[in-house]
Structure 1
């Protein structure tokens, strides 16, 4: 079977599913960082599908859907429209939003991450 990129309709389904689970501060946070889905370039693996759908953005970080691995990820970006790092987590959007919220709320450490805090 041949891989095909995820459609914008499928991305919106995943977003709406996550939004139905969000409450309180987490929902407010998501409302502040979410963007209309945009395809962004990722040089290593993203070319075949025309890039990856970015759905959230704060500072120099993006939340995007890696449809090769079928999960949401957090990556840095230097130039708007280009994802700097390929990440292959298979997380649902709710968990990825929680991780981004944790980066800000708990001193720069992603939930479950070992080691020193990440400098923002």
Structure 2
């Protein structure tokens, strides 16, 4: 028996994700929110390879070649890339907040240059 069957996990719904993003955006500074708004995209379902099984997650933002998606098993946001087939195959288990993601993606740039 694996841990997923023990936890009776269910994928996050789009409505639940919308609420989670709204809650986390309320905690961002003005500059962080401006940066997130700049990279935010309409929720887009994509396939993710979880231990050899294809499942679906939502992309919430894109910056250059990176995507930000909600990893609903870990209950957090992740930064990743899509492979040539549009599937997420490499990702961590970091349980990032949107604030963590914004600060990681924009760490090498000053906020003011990004939002002006």
Q: TM-score, normalised by structure 2?
A: 0.75
Q: Which runs of 5+ in 2 are unaligned?
A: 1-6, 111-116
Larger radius of gyration: 2
The one of 65, 68, 92 equivalent to 2:70 is 65
Q: Does 1:44 align with 2:50?
A: yes
User: Given the superposition, is the C-alpha separation of residues 83 and 24 from structure 1 closer, same or farther in structure 2, using an over 3 Å criterion?
Assistant: same
User: Given the superposition, is the C-alpha separation of residues 3 and 77 from structure 1 closer, same or farther in structure 2, using an over 3 Å criterion?
Assistant: same
Q: Does 1:7 align with 2:33?
A: no
Report SS of the residue matched to 2:20: helix
**Higher-RCO chain (CA-CA 8 Å, sequence separation at least 6):** 2
The one of 76, 81, 90 equivalent to 1:85 is 90
More strand, by proportion: 2
Q: Does 1:53 align with 2:58?
A: yes
User: Given the superposition, is the C-alpha separation of residues 58 and 46 from structure 1 closer, same or farther in structure 2, using an over 3 Å criterion?
Assistant: farther
Report SS of the residue matched to 1:25: helix
Q: TM-score, normalised by structure 1?
A: 0.73
